[in-house]
Amino acid sequence: MSNYNFSKNFHWGVSTSAFQIEGAHDKDGKGISIWDEFTQKKKVILDNHHAKVACDFYHKYEEDLELIKDLGIPNFRFSISWTRIFPDGCGRVNQKGVDYYNRVIDSCIEKGIEPWVTLYHWDLPENIQKRGGWANRRIVDWFYDFAAFCASHFGDRVKRWMVLNEPMVFTGAGYFLGIHAPGRRGLKHFIPAVHHAVLSQAEGGRIIKELRPDSLVGTTFSCSLIEPFRENNPKDIKAAKRVDALSNRLFLEPALGLGYPTEDLPFLKRLEKHIRKGDEKRMQFDFDFIGIQNYTREIIKHSTFTPYLRAKLIESKSRNVPITEMGWEVYPKSLYAMAKKFASYEKVKEVIITENGAAFSDELQNGKIYDSHRTNYLAENLKELNRAHLENEKIKGYFVWSLLDNFEWAEGYHPRFGLVHVDYKTLERTPKLSALWYKKTINAHNQKHVGNVLTKSDLALERRK
């Protein structure tokens, strides 16, 4: 057991998302999302996997929340499926969907678990996509209404909100590369989607605060430490800087009032035709915290033939470094660097690691599931985060991705990130040894601070004597 020195008010948690675990894809009035539609296509998901059942969290949430309680994890991050609330994306409300999330939230609170709710984790209503999705400016209003509804109906119990999950990923993979839902390709889709997501994250934050002033509102960003392939090569250094601007700064800096990083990424000047009068102010919001989601670092080399970025990723497999089943380099120092980078912004009040974890193969022996690679990954990442935490008090939390093995988007069910193993045939849950390690880590943290309090109390009593 590593000896960490996180402060008493450090937040420990575990993360999930609706589409990846809920299943019940058409249950109780739920509408069709872009991922429901996307997974119907051939050859877009590995082995044509889909999430119609997934982990069946929709029916098994009580069992899973009891697992969280038993593991001593105090905070649970999950998302709300937009189409369970508004099957058509807007207008008609599905009361059964509202009732379901009321039950999940109430059950969390009854078990002493703090719910941290993500409003949008990629499952856009298909009816909104038919009208252009994130490329249609009207989505700012549709999302505003969805956020307002959730804040009004759940905000009496939910105090921690995250507006968007990884906007760089859902716009980049979904509207430029086409490898995620809705499968659009090219700048003509990506550029407007970026601007409308930036507006939506700010407008979503504003309406939550307006309706629930006592709430704590954040949003989450994917991020990676970006380093040049050749440290002394000016072209590689500039290429890495461009990738960093795209991957780590594009959605954060407009919220902070710094605008888009067009100086480092000239192609972003195409955003200008989508920016209307007053948008620069509308893009800004004073978030209570920023969630960052880091798994690895990326090594970048200059590439004349890559459009827009003039940069290419050097695959980890080719560099003879330890990697996860996703092909990502195991590099814990990336978490240290990214936590410090985001905390260094003056207007960022608090940084929470809202996702960090790894996909590795598990070994079943005598009814136990051994996953030493995952445990080692988490332990080493926490060491680096502890170092960052001690150097910057803004860094205040850590959530493991993920509670359960689940549907991992284009990779289907092949990579397993869970602390808890899921048998996809029987849906049986089995905590892995990494889950038990995480429980011990949290318990050791709690006992350390209880011990400190008792020691101080004892000293005070001695003085009175």
Q: Could you give all domains of the chain from N- to C-terminal order, each with its CATH number?
A: 11-464 (3.20.20.80)
pLDDT of residue 451: 56
What's the pLDDT at 3?
83
Amino acid at 410: A
Rg of the Cα trace of the chain? 22
For residue 289, the surrounding DSSP H or E stretch is strand 289-302
Residue for token digits 């205040």?
396
Say if residues 312 and 364 touch (Cβ distance below 8 Å): no
Round to whole Å and give the CA distance between 119 and 147. 7
* Residue 307 half-sphere exposure toward CB, CA atoms < 13 A: 6
Do 274 and 282 form a contact (C-beta atoms < 8 A)? Answer: no
Select from 235, 251, 88 the least CA-distant residue to 166.
251
Percentages (nearest 5) of helix, strand, coil residues in the chain: 45, 20, 35
CB burial readout 184-217, b (16+ within 10 A) else e: beeeebbbbbbbbbbbbbbbbbbbbbeebeebbb
CA–chain centroid gap for 77, Å, is 9
User: For residue 194, which of 171, 216, 227, 224 has the smallest C-alpha distance?
Assistant: 171
Amino acid at 239: A
Question: Which pair of tokens denotes residue 419?
Answer: 């602390």
Are 204 and 143 in contact by the 8 Å Cβ rule? The answer is: yes
Residue 122 pLDDT: 98
Token pair of 416 as six digits: 């397993």
Cα–Cα distance, 365 to 45 (Å, whole number): 30
DSSP notation for 307-322: TTT-EEE--GGGGT--
Residues contacting 285, CB < 8 A, separation 6+: 201, 202, 205, 206, 217, 255
Report pTM: 0.96
Encode burial over 337-358: b for 16+ CB neighbours within 10 A, e otherwise: bbbbbbbebeebbbbbbbbbbb
Residues with catalytic annotation? Answer: 166, 355
Would you write out the chain's pLDDT as a tens digit for each of its 465 residues?
Answer: 568 999 999 999 999 999 999 999 999 999 999 999 999 999 999 999 999 999 999 999 999 999 999 999 999 999 999 999 999 999 999 999 999 999 999 999 999 999 999 999 999 999 999 999 999 999 999 999 999 999 999 999 999 999 999 999 999 999 999 999 999 999 999 999 999 999 999 999 999 999 999 999 999 999 999 999 999 999 999 999 999 999 999 999 999 999 999 999 999 999 999 999 999 999 999 999 999 999 999 999 999 999 999 999 999 999 999 999 999 999 999 999 999 999 999 999 999 999 999 999 999 888 899 999 999 999 999 999 999 999 999 999 999 999 999 999 999 999 999 999 999 999 999 999 999 999 999 999 999 998 544 333 333 333 333
